[in-house]
Amino acid sequence: MRRGARTLRDPLSRAARVDDQVDIDVDIGMVLRAHRAGYPRPRPGPVRRAYDVAELAHRGQVRKSGEPYIIHPLAVTMILAECGMDSATLQAALLHDTVEDTEYTLPELRADFGDEIAVLVDGVTKLDGSKWGERAEAETFRKMVLAAAADLRVLLIKLADRLHNLRTLGFQPPHKQQRIARQSQELLIPFAERLGMYELKREMDDLCFSVLRPEAHGEIKAALDAREAAGRALLRPAVDRLRAALKEHKVAGDVMLYRRHLWAVHLDVGDRLDTLQPADQFRLLVLVDGEDRDCYIALGAVHAGMNPVPGRLKDFISLPRFNLYRALHTRVIADGRTVMDVIIRTRRMHRVAERGLAAHMHEMARGPGADVAGRIDLEWLRRLLAWQNDATSADFLESLRGDLRPDGIAAFTTGGELIPLPPGATSIDFAYALGPQTGDHAIGALINGRLVPLHARVDNGAVVHILTDETASPSEAGLDAATTPTARLLIRRHLAANQGPDDAADKGRRVVAEAVAGEGLDLLDLECLGVSGSVAEDLGHRELDDLYAAVTAGKVDLDDLVARLVKENSRSTDPAQDS
């Protein structure tokens, strides 16, 4: 809810903000100290200036907890300051809710702070639900992804914002807790993983776990807490043995037990808490004081000190993950019977592994000579944006969820480009992941050098080459073979565009008729009452056939259309609406 009007055109005067302000200077002081400590070139002045504006704009507003609202943007900014983010990101974080929840407008913000800050704030500002209705959530995410394609800091602010909201979720009603936690699991936590922000991801995982499965969360937390001391004691000899092995191989570094977060343990163990072992709760983490090559020497030391499990070595240093993650993973047998997972990283790799994009940007801020560990693979984001402009809200959100699924597989082009896909994906899905031009003209594929049809499944690690023919076009068979939302949408769109207008309209009308029948309505009645025509005009279609053809082409969201028809029918048949 927007507060009452307040003049903000001269918000930067200290005299104007001292009287009657909330006494939280210590909190902004903490933010500024974290900024000075964590960023190579801090600019505390502009950050303090943004706080002055945000505090005045939000003055008088309170959160569900009863705290002054300014506590929220301060907490969000503190998360980002501790990640070592730049002053522009911190300014935008302090101001991120002003345009959405106060009378402070985007043009005013742009005039006060410039285009860079305005773009970041606008990227995380929600769309007005009263105008967008049921499409508001999807369109807000579409807007955020578009902004993130230009500046990934938009996503960092959104993740920090959601993390603090999850921390304070207990003040929301249960149904809202469930909705926010579920949305976070489906969309925002996968974004955190894509950006390598594992520190944020783990906390968000556990907070959502506590809301969506509180009993299981409580049980596994109690079990892990009860076993922690004994588990550490049991694994202490393994730590000591690895430390001795490093010393023997003249590798500078340390070995420690790395506690896994609750959600990760739950995914491995489930309800079988009686089978819980110390190795389920901890990983052995080897932090090397040196360069990449020293990690391989450390690996030799680890395998010399303990028996390696064959086939369980993963080298993410020579082939980093798409989100900057670099490390060596191996599995060993300690004391002749305990199987342990060991992770080997340099200390710099560890910073990047924990904070991903934030650590990467921190390194970049040190100057052009900084040794930066690769780059985040954004091809999946570019492919999504290549076709999303014409996608309906529901199609866009479905495709985004599919692209962000955490249980995906990795396939490769013959040129070595990694193409992430969901499990069960086929050759036609791979083709459309490369782009509509490739997918539309695909006729077959070579998977690991073997000729296969378009419905052939792509396995993890496969090398795929798509065979194309400029005269080929999508077919119903291709639609049956496709499993990803992106491929199915693009094939349906092509098929609809090549249907006769009458065929497309008839098909769309049948689909709409079936959908409204599920709501207890008859489409013919809605057409006779003028309900359908009114909704068609609202959506920019002069004729009903144009509306139905747009449904067939996937340009009109069916769920949104049905909701509009139901609402318009209720309005037109309720006598109270005419009084």
* Residue 208 · residue 181 · CB < 8 Å: yes
Which of 463, 453, 379, 457 is closest to 413 using CA atoms? 463
Q: Among residues 27, 67, 100, 116, which one is catalytic?
A: 100
Which of 304, 308, 329, 305 is closest to 317 using CA atoms? 329
| CA 165 remoteness from chain centre | 15
Q: What is the dihedral of CA 133, 136, 137, 139, to 10 degrees?
A: 140
Q: Which residue has the tokens 């976070």?
A: 184
* Residue 452 · residue 479 · CB < 8 Å: no
Query: Any catalytic annotation for residue 560?
Result: no
Give ∠ CA 391-393-396 in degrees, rounded to 5: 60
Which strand (E) or helix (H) includes residue 125? none
Whole-angstrom distance, CA of residue 191 vs CA of residue 161: 13
Which structure tokens are listed for 348? 């710099």
404 - beta bridge partners? Answer: none
What phi and psi values does residue 373 have, to the nearest 5 degrees? -80, 75
> Exposed (0-12), middle (13-18) or buried (19+): which is 103, by Cβ within 10 Å?
middle
Helices (H) and strands (E) in the chain, counts: 30, 11
Q: What is the dihedral of CA 43, 45, 51, 53, to 10 degrees?
A: -130
Query: Any catalytic annotation for residue 82?
Result: no
Q: Among residues 52, 101, 161, 403, which one is catalytic?
A: 101
Whole-angstrom distance, CA of residue 362 vs CA of residue 289: 20
Whole-angstrom distance, CA of residue 86 vs CA of residue 404: 27
Which structure tokens are listed for 507? 């098909």
Which of 267, 306, 304 is closest to 284 using CA atoms? 306
- Which residues are designated catalytic? 100-101
